[in-house]
A and B are shown apart, each in its own frame.
Chain A
């Protein structure tokens, strides 16, 4: 199976300081992978390196088989869609115009969408439950709605791989689960998802595999129930914690 994204012994240094090292990970089609770890563990940097936004110090990263830094911005965008940690709409566009920006790499623009573009925009708006808000301005909706609009923009890009930095931060539990279901659907349709999160329970619930980071190195990786052992969680977060199953659903508890 060819991975949509893989890292092989990748290392990144910023300003002379090592951010992550000896990092290996593959995200295949049909797969949701979660990146976990405390603040400053290097999750965001891993995602950015995967997209070629920052150069590696050592090792390799391949996006759809190629070094992302050798690809044009357009070619990259057709392989991976990215939701940054604090997505911005600097100018208050309408929700629909913002989502339509996701069609950039396909040649679409908010005022010039082909039927194909419009269909992708409509589907993304539908998937994120934004139908009633499509003509609302981005500065006149709630924080959760804003985040879902940006998520819809990422989906409208119709890239095989979704790379998302804390896509459920600030969402209520029901909305977070709704987002997790979108990831599952994307994987079931043959796509791949790599997302970072602090929500261990959500990762355990939605991800096929997790990678747990601490200070830029992998503490544990694999299926959530095996990788997120008491020892691994306690080491990563420096606080005794474990995964428990409550009425069939996994959740994390810390002392």
Chain B
């Protein structure tokens, strides 16, 4: 092959970046720590019981969002798609809120998965033949708004009414105070979702040709669709169950990675996961270091980075006439 095959180098660099970000997350924070590996009780408590689980959770959530974003973009042939934009995250949060509010908190992750799956099925069914990238994004915005409204309603109707802060936590997302169990939960959902998504890679590649031609070269499109819908729902469900709704990571990560490995949807998957993880750990470090009275929500920081990227891609598509 004569085209630059730099996938390995990019994966290596993004892995190194992820490790560096995780290390920095152990070291940096509101409480100054000179040596995160020092063997005293205070350092151990802060670094290994607070910062490590939090940083790991941020990485796993970011990776799940980056990977599911890349897969959804490939499936729907739309660079504006991701779990947040399409409403999967909003519905996952709704599922988790319902489980928590009505006393079934043990089932919250599965409720998040089930609701994310419902949203994924709905949005792919509605968006499969959507004309132009923006109309799909509009469908997702509708679903997200619906989910936001239903979350508020669920919190109001709950036997023990939630506080406004619950609503904020779920809809703006945060990894503050997360434990290793939270990280393990996000990680196991990412493993399952990732396995499903990687199995769809060739089908995503075929979809570059559009539906009819993809089927004609031998791609089983219903299989591809099922794998991505299930895989993205697992990723978004797990990520949202532990961190709430964090938007735009799934749009921004594949966008940055395309500049390095090209547009082939199969080649984008792994680097998008790594980039999403590194991005969210960095955003979380920024959130912790900002001198604000109450900690800024991670979802807000992610939106500050991802929102402009989303707007930029949309504007570029519109100027190319890529939209109806």
Contacts and interface: CB of A to CB of B under 8 A. Distances in A.
A77 B219 CA distance: 9
- For B5, B207, B213, which residue has the most chain A Cβ atoms within 10 angstroms? B213
Contact of A97 (B212, B215, B264): B264
A73 B220 contact: yes
A11 to B, nearest CB: 21
A96 B3 contact: yes
B10 to A, nearest CB: 13
Contacts of B264: 91, 93, 97, 110-111
B217 A105 contact: yes
A109 B202 contact: yes
Interface of B: 1-3, 5, 7, 77, 202, 205-210, 212-213, 215-221, 262-267
Contacts of A80: 216
B220 A102 contact: no
Contacts of B213: 82-84, 87-88
A96 B210 CA distance: 18
A53 B212 contact: yes
Contacts of B267: 111
B219 to A, nearest CB: 6
28 contacts: A51-B216, A53-B216, A72-B220, A73-B218, A73-B221, A76-B215, A76-B218, A77-B217, A82-B212, A82-B213, A84-B212, A84-B216, A88-B210, A88-B213, A89-B208, A89-B209, A90-B207, A93-B262, A96-B2, A96-B3, A104-B206, A104-B217, A104-B218, A109-B266, A111-B7, A111-B264, A113-B1, A134-B2
Interface of A: 48, 51, 53, 72-74, 76-78, 80-84, 87-94, 96-98, 101-102, 104-105, 109-111, 113, 134-135, 153, 157
Contacts of A81: 216-217
A111 B216 contact: no
A239 B151 CA distance: 64
A102 B210 contact: no
Contacts of B216: 51, 53, 73, 76-77, 80-82, 84
Nearest to A134: B2
Given A53-B215, A73-B215, A97 B3 contact: yes
A88 B267 CA distance: 19
Query: Ordered nearest first, which 6 A-B pairs have the shortest CB separation?
Result: A105-B218, A77-B218, A82-B216, A91-B263, A88-B210, A74-B218
A89 B3 CA distance: 17
Contact of A91 (B3, B208, B212): B208
A174 to B, nearest CB: 26
Contact of B205 (A76, A84, A109, A113): A109
Q: Find the residue from B202, B210, B218 having the highest chain A CB count within 10 A.
A: B218
B138 to A, nearest CB: 19
